[in-house]
Amino acid sequence: MTLHLAVALAGDSFDAGYWAGQVRRADDAGLDFVTFEDSFGRHGPDAVQVAARVAPLTRHVGLVPVATTTHTEPFHLSTALATLDWVSRGRAGWQVRVSADPAEAALLGRREPLPVDELIAEAGDAIEVVRRLWDSWEDDAIIKDAATGRFIDREKLHYIDFAGPHFTVKGPSIVPRPPQGQPVVAALAHGPQVWDALDADVFFVTPADADHAARIIRQIAPEKKIFADIRVGGHVPADAATFNGTPIQLADLIQNWWVASGIDGFRLRVTDVADVTGDLVPELRRRGLFEPSTKPVLRERLGLGTAVNRYAVRPEETSVA
């Protein structure tokens, strides 16, 4: 058994070469995925677009951009993220975020943000809509039948018919079902307000130590993958534990937390991926704690299992009694 390892990138560079260099280092080191920070008010490129730009330049690493549900139509999120999954050949993910900042609302000329609990409920509805849209094409919906002039089997496209307090979406999607079926959905969670409300596959949590991490894990459904966030370097106050020390000391901390808490992995917040790949990854590998996965698809890398299409007819449903 090996721990999972990821990095969180945040930056405002519009230089594609910068982002390609950072993500290639993560790819070459065998990291499981990279997350790309984003918000409406941030000066910098769109995270989903950055992930799409570096996708053809990388081979294995997962690409998980932040995309905000507040003020954003879930239909658009669904198509953008499904496209990223196609471009990356099954390596896409989505870090869900909400915005309670009135200044961000003003940028879009939209309503004032809802209270936080309602924003999270809205995000939960957005995740449900996006997941239904990803399933709205069955895997074999494209038939390319030249003899009959049919490209799609319309019987294998489904209306999602979602109606809730925040969205009403008919569907189906305009993009075929992603290669993963369901790209990986992740969320930063400081407490049960998030992990009890959102249908995410991965939660990033912010424990102070190994005992705190163990207490958090006991509160979250066992099928979820839990990553502890650690900020590497820097002295600015952060919501996550901050580490300042040598790569050997960081490897000691990761080993202690992983063994003592049962955490699935770590997401290291860095300014440069080389801070992780240079000495830390070789040290973790030397200790037998981290072994890069050979799985090319992000869901498989994380051990999440096959995403079954909710609209597809099962063989047992067509059997004669």
Average pLDDT value for residue range 250-268: 97
pLDDT at 165: 92
- In whole angstroms, give the CA distance from residue 22 to residue 15: 11
* CATH code linked to domain 4-318: 3.20.20.30
- Per-residue pLDDT of 166-209, as tens digits, reads 999 998 999 999 999 999 999 999 999 999 999 999 999 999 99
pLDDT at 146: 73
Residue 317 has pLDDT above 80, yes or no: no
Strand 225-232 relative to strand 265-270, pairing: parallel
- Asked, as a colleague might, if the bond just before 192 is cis with ω within 30 of 0, I would say no
Strand 168-169 relative to strand 162-163, pairing: antiparallel
pLDDT at 315: 55
- Per-residue pLDDT of 139-171, as tens digits, reads 988 887 777 777 888 889 999 999 999 999 998
Q: What residues are paired with 6 via a beta bridge? A: 33, 267
pLDDT at 314: 63
- In whole angstroms, give the CA distance from residue 100 to residue 103: 9
- Per-residue pLDDT of 219-253, as tens digits, reads 999 999 999 999 998 767 789 999 999 999 999 99
Nearest alpha carbon to residue 73 among 200, 171, 186, 178:
171
Residue 65 has pLDDT above 60, yes or no: yes
Report which of residues 26 and 114 the model is more confident about: 26
pLDDT at 321: 45
Output the average pLDDT for the chain.
93
Residue 318 has pLDDT above 60, yes or no: no
- Residue ranges of the domains in the chain? 4-318
Which residue is associated with the tokens 């290639």? 24
pLDDT at 182: 98
- Per-residue pLDDT of 15-24, as tens digits, reads 999 999 999 9
DSSP state of 245: S
The three-state secondary structure class of 243 is: strand
pLDDT at 282: 98
pLDDT at 316: 59
Q: For 272, what's the count of Cα atoms within 13 Å in the CB-facing half-sphere?
A: 5
Nearest alpha carbon to residue 174 among 64, 81, 71, 309:
81
